[in-house]
Amino acid sequence: MEHPTAAETAANAATDIAPPTGWAAVKQKIVACFWEVEEHLADIFGLNDSKYQFAIDEYMQKKQEEEDRAEYEAWEREQEEAKENERLAAEADALEGGGDGFEEVRLTSEAGKEER
């Protein structure tokens, strides 16, 4: 195995950083604590929320209402068409003599005399 060159030794020394000790370690812990407190305060006051979330929510609500309204109107049209089809079927049955309003009309000699 070869020994590292002077440049490689210098590069390795620059990346090998010893953990802080003494006052530097205390300062690093205090700063980390403040960052954590700052993060919690931002969550509490809603600073991490979307600035325009209310507009997004309003848009989504309107879109959902429009979809619901269109679906309800389509359902109403289907119901009206079904009622109309039932009415037309009953009317056709009555005209053909198959409905409840069917009355038998017999032609008699007197009925034929009235036409003349």
d(CA 53, CA 67): 21
Residue-level pLDDT at 52: 86
pTM: 0.41
pLDDT above 90 as % of the chain: 29
Residue 5: per-residue pLDDT = 74
Question: Considering the chain, what is the average pLDDT of its residues?
Answer: 81
> Could you tell me which residue, 116 or 31, shows the higher pLDDT?
31
DSSP 37-57: HHHHHHHHTTTTS-TTHHHHH
pLDDT band per the 50, 70, 90 thresholds, residue 16: low
